[in-house]
Amino acid sequence: MSVYLYGAWQYVGSVRGSRSGQEASLRVDAYDGSGYIQVNGRFEGDRFSGTYLVVAYGSGSTTANLSLRRGQTSPGTLAIPSEPGQVLQKLWESLK
């Protein structure tokens, strides 16, 4: 899966998830096994709202609210708003 961080798409790892009605969850495991992102939420029209948890093994974790809106993206990608994207970028940098 690729994530949009600081104006560029970056590959972060494999994805698995599930959906039941409007409820959905997904987990992206880092390609090097050093952490993961867990997203849980609900679809409402062209929006998805919920929470995400970023875990960096050995460095800690962070949780935040997440609100996405359907837009023009490539299949298999997740566009994260700039503020959460900055948090993710800092955590992914600590994974390297």
Burial per residue of 24-41, b for 16 or more beta-carbon CB atoms within 10 angstroms, e otherwise: bebbbbbeeebbbbbbeb
Residue 90, φ and ψ in degrees, nearest 5: -65, -40
Cα–Cα distance for residue pair 57/95, rounded to 1 Å: 8
Cα–Cα distance for residue pair 32/29, rounded to 1 Å: 8
This prediction has a pTM of 0.60
- 16-36 pLDDT, tens digit each: 889 999 999 988 888 788 888
pLDDT category at 58 given cuts 50, 70, 90 is confident
pLDDT category at 86 given cuts 50, 70, 90 is low
Q: What is the arithmetic mean of pLDDT over 66-94?
A: 62
Radius of gyration of the chain (CA): 13
Q: Is the pLDDT of residue 50 over 90?
A: yes
Cα–Cα distance for residue pair 7/50, rounded to 1 Å: 23
